[in-house]
Amino acid sequence: MSTEEIENKHTISVLVDNEPGVLARVIGLFSGRGYNIESLTVAEVRARRQQSRITIVTNGTPMIIEQIKAQLCRLVPVHKVVDLTIDGPSVERELALIKVVGSGEKRVESLRIADIFRARVLDSTNESFIFEIVGDTEKLNAFIELMRPLGLVDVSRTGVVAIARGIEAL
């Protein structure tokens, strides 16, 4: 494979007008053109100007990534598209809520691992915990894998949010 064909993961931030259907436009673009979405988060970030920020994690060859950005820019309600993966250093975080059911030794072990990962206990019953964990995607994946043999029954993840380091704003 030439370098042109290697697929890489990219985190893309999109600033949009928070108008009806804007998320459908973005998602429809990805499904209609056969691009991947690994995760997608969206929320209003500038209430006064009614603007939302969408963070998309996707993967593709450099040509595909370039296409994705150009296609996003073409949508009328899109203000700005930034590829955080190549436009400089950035930080990424994801939050997960993880339910583990069990008793005895496994229950103690799950609590011990949660402590190592700095996961918080949000809810506890005699047979279950709900942990809240924040970190990058890899950390969350590692934690979930460790919880699996200890009685993991449910996971809810926010998807990645990301922001560029330094003084620049989107």
Partner 1 sequence: MEKEQNGKLTGSEILVMALTDQEVTKIFGYPGGAVLPLYDALLQQNSISHILVRQEGGALHAAEGYARSTGKVGVALVTSGPGATNAVTGLTDAMMDSIPLVCITGQVPTHLIGNDAFQECDTTGITRPCTKHNYLVKNVDDLARIVHEAFHVARSGRPGPVVIDLPKDVAMAIGSYSPPEKNEHKTYIPQMKGDASDIKQAVKLLIGAKKPIFYCGGGVINSGPKASKLLAELVRISGYPCTLTLMGLGAYPASDPQFLGMLGMHGTYEANMAMHDCDVMVCVGARFDDRITGLISEFSPNSKKIHIDIDPSSINKNVAVDLPIIGDVANVLEEMLKNWKSSNTKPNQKALKTWWKQIDEWRAQDCLKFSQRGEVIKPQFAIQRLYEATKNNDDVYITTEVGQHQMWAAQFYGFEKPNRWMTSGGLGTMGYGLPAALGTQVAHPKALVIDIAGEASILMNIQEMSTIAQYQLPVKIFILNNEYMGMVRQWQELLHGGRYAESYMESLPDFKKLAESFGAVGMRVDKASDLDAMIEEMIKVNKAVIADVHVEKMESCYPMIPSGAAHNHMLLGPEDNSQRPISEDGMVLV
Q: Given the rule CB under 8 A, which residues bind partner 1? A: 4, 17, 20-21, 24-25, 28, 32, 63, 66-67, 70-71, 73-79
Give the nearer residue to partner 1 in terms of CB position, either 59 or 158: 59
Q: CB 163 → partner 1: shortest distance, Å?
A: 21
Give the nearer residue to partner 1 in terms of CB position, either 66 or 123: 66
**Alpha-carbon distance values, 158 to 87, 94, 98, 128, 162 (Å):** 24, 6, 12, 21, 12
The CA distance from 60 to 92, in Å, is 19
Q: CB 58 → partner 1: shortest distance, Å?
A: 15
Q: CB 42 → partner 1: shortest distance, Å?
A: 17
Buried/exposed code over 80-110 (b: 16+ C-beta within 10 A; e: otherwise):
ebbbbbeeeebebebbbbbbbbbeeeebebb
Give the nearer residue to partner 1 in terms of CB position, either 2 or 125: 2
